[in-house]
Amino acid sequence: MQLLETFFQGIKRLTEQKRGRLFLLALILIVGVFLRTYQFREWLYFYPDQARDAIISEDAITGKTDWPLIGPIAASTRFKTGPIYYYFQIISGEIFGIGPDKMAYPDLLFGILAIPLFYIFLKRYFSPQLSLICTGLFAVSTYAIRYSRFAWNPNPIPFFVLLFLLALLAFLEYRERVSWWWAVALGTALGVGVQLHTVTLILFPAISVCVGGYLLWKSPRLWKQSVLILLVAVLLNTGQIRSELNNNFDNTRAFFNTSSGRAQAQTTGYGQVVLNNTLNFSETFAQIISSSGNPDQFNFPIVLERPHLSRDTYTPLGYNLFLAGIAVSLVFFLSGCWLLVRAFRRESDPRKREFLGLMILYSTMTFLIFIPINDDLRPRYFAPLIFLPFLFLGLWFQFVKEYFSRSAIYFGWGILLLLVMGNLYTITREAKAFIAMDRSGPQYVVLGEIEPMADFIGEQFAGQKNIYFFAQGKYIQNYFKPMNYVLRAKGMVLNRISNQKDVPSDMPVLSLTSAFVGAPSVSLPGFTVATCKNFGNLGWCRLDPETKQ
């Protein structure tokens, strides 16, 4: 205990000096940069959406097409986001060259810049010491790292959310005396944010209207800065505006049709939706700070709604531990909400009170926006709220320090250490899979793993431009576009087929299945297996047409 107390006192003395705080922040940044950049190209996720975006951006870079006026399509809809993410990729490609990893550099850059910005944001309310603690946990958060290591249009959201909130806080604090640079920053965050995801397309303008209306009521002379904010935001959306004017606002109608359709498709009662939303928030918040849980779907509502099936899936101990995890996550989320409101009601410093008020508005608005899309919600949708679990954690530290003994503070440090270890454990486990080159499978596609597969395909189909590709389920869905992209460099083109009638006579077929032991599980009438090779969890085969007797 004496050793721990000496250690904590040393850290405290270090953070009391500005130079010491900068040293610790630099150390945190170094760790965060390492975790986000190590083996960046080889471990890059490269799904169908990434292959599609890379081709669009590369065609613009090479002059085959003009810069796009509209962006990627939103999942399961006809609506398309703005083109700003493509512009990030095109600019990166112009500077660093063409390649999937080069297209992901903007995501990496914004993921790294979010770390110091996160510290600046937290320091608006917490002490420098507590801000450093929460920033350190953010730097090793598996959730934050995962979405900094590949190209996807929502990945820059954490950076622009923090910039958006900091700019709003500057307006709330300084009013008419606010720097014009904050107006440019707010216009930039708003103009970019509405193009990154449909959630931020609704959230950012809604928050801006609420805060802007309040500010203009209190300080009418802010209309000049408001005009500049709108001009910057509109300028950044010029491409999308041109596209709408050229296409009779088809994309806008698609957005409202999608919103209306989702609202009508909500089959569960309002109370159940709110409960599921609360469970989803609890599960994702626990995942963001500890790395626990499934990054691709929510399990809390499933386990509680179908306990008999869950008991068959888990061992009795595993099932009880899962229920305990749900309880702890719910307590963390609900108590965090309570602590946030409590801190707002008790705060006397106007600057900090405005910070807490904005956090309440922002988190409440997001909760309400997620209700209509509850059926389609996934953990990845929570990127706009990535800061909130750390804010809750900081409020908990303050609460423990205020009301409990010194030993309880050490308990809090122990919880923090467990959270760091949980994230590092998950990072290490995933890194081992990458090192073994068996991360790719039906769910994951890794660039550094599919390139050797492309070399094998190039050898097996040498001299053949059109390759006929047969696979089922997620294999065809997840690997057709990425492999087609990689094979383009070899002058080859993949063609999807569903049966032997789609293949010209006497032409071989490429097939993909799970890794095999013994005979591969490949079946296409009229073809026999000629050559197969395992690559981690995958098996690639060349099928030759059967010789007719």
Q: Identify the pLDDT of residue 469.
A: 93
Q: Is the pLDDT of residue 125 over 80?
A: yes
Which helix (DSSP H) or strand (DSSP E) does residue 181 occupy? helix 180-193
Which 8-state DSSP code applies to residue 80?
B
CA angle (243, 247, 252) in 5-degree steps: 75
Q: In the numeric block, which tokens belong to residue 469?
A: 């590709």
Neighbours of 394 (CB within 10 A): 22
Q: Which position has the higher pLDDT, 11 or 457? A: 457
CA distance 149 to 49: 15
d(CA 19, CA 383): 32
How many Å apart are CA 123 and CA 112, to the nearest integer?
18
Residue 313 pLDDT exceeds 90: no
Asked if 326 and 278 count as a contact pair (C-beta separation under 8 A), the reply is no
Q: At which residue do the structure tokens 């003395």 appear?
A: 13
Give pTM, 2 decimals.
0.92
- Measure the N-to-C terminal CA separation of the chain; round to a whole number of Å: 84
Which DSSP state fits 74? Answer: P
pLDDT of residue 269: 72
Q: Do residues 189 and 167 touch, judged by C-beta distance below 8 A? A: yes
- Please list, in sequence order, all residues whose beta carbon lies within 8 angstroms of the beta carbon of residue 470, skipping any fewer than 6 positions away: 476, 497, 498, 509, 510, 511, 512, 524, 543
- Which H or E run includes 360? helix 350-370
d(CA 99, CA 103): 6
Spatial strand order of the sheet with 466-470 comes to 493-496, 466-470, 509-514, 538-545, 527-535
- Quickly tell me which residue has 């216009």 as its tokens: 187
> Do residues 85 and 204 touch, judged by C-beta distance below 8 A?
no
CB atoms under 10 Å from CB of 301, counted, come to 18
3-class SS at 469? strand
Q: How many residues in the chain?
A: 549
Task: Give the whole-angstrom CA distance, residue 270 versus residue 259.
Answer: 17
- H-only helix segments in 219-349: 223-236, 238-246, 250-265, 270-290, 300-305, 307-313, 316-346
Q: 89 or 220, which is more confident?
A: 89
- pLDDT score of 265: 45
Kindly list the domain boundaries of the chain, sorted by start residue: 447-545
Confidence of residue 6 (pLDDT cuts 50, 70, 90): low
CB 211 within 8 A of CB 171: yes
Judge whether 473 and 467 are in contact, CB under 8 Å: no
Cα separation, 539 vs 335, in Å, equals 49
SS3 of residue 98 by DSSP: coil
Average pLDDT of the segment spanning 412-435: 91
Is the alpha carbon torsion for 502, 46, 444, 75 positive or negative? negative
Whether 120 contacts 164, CB under 8 Å: no
Cα–Cα dist 415/409, whole Å: 10
pLDDT for the residue 14:
75
Average pLDDT of the chain is 89
Cβ neighbours, 10 Å, residue 387: 23
Whether 108 shows a pLDDT value over 90: the answer reads: yes
Q: Is 463 left (phi over 0), alpha (psi -120 to 50) or beta?
A: left
The three-state secondary structure class of 367 is: helix
β-sheet bridge partners, residue 470: 511
- Residues 6 or more apart whose CB falls under 8 angstroms from that of 506 comprise 545
- Band of residue 85 on the pLDDT scale cut at 50, 70, 90: very high
3-state secondary structure of 471: coil
* The two three-digit tokens of residue 229, written as one number: 């904010």
pLDDT tens digits for 355-400?
999 999 999 999 999 998 887 888 999 999 999 999 999 999 989 8
Separation in Å, CA 137 to CA 156, 291, 308, 389: 19, 11, 37, 11
User: Which pLDDT score is estimated for 267?
Assistant: 56
**How, if at all, do strands 527-535 and 466-470 pair?**
unpaired
Predicted confidence (pLDDT) at residue 260 exceeds the cutoff of 60: no
pLDDT at 315: 72
The answer on pLDDT for 147 being more than 80 is yes
pLDDT digits over 195-244, tens only? 999 999 999 999 999 999 999 998 888 899 999 999 999 999 999 999 88
| Mean pLDDT confidence for 62-77 | 86
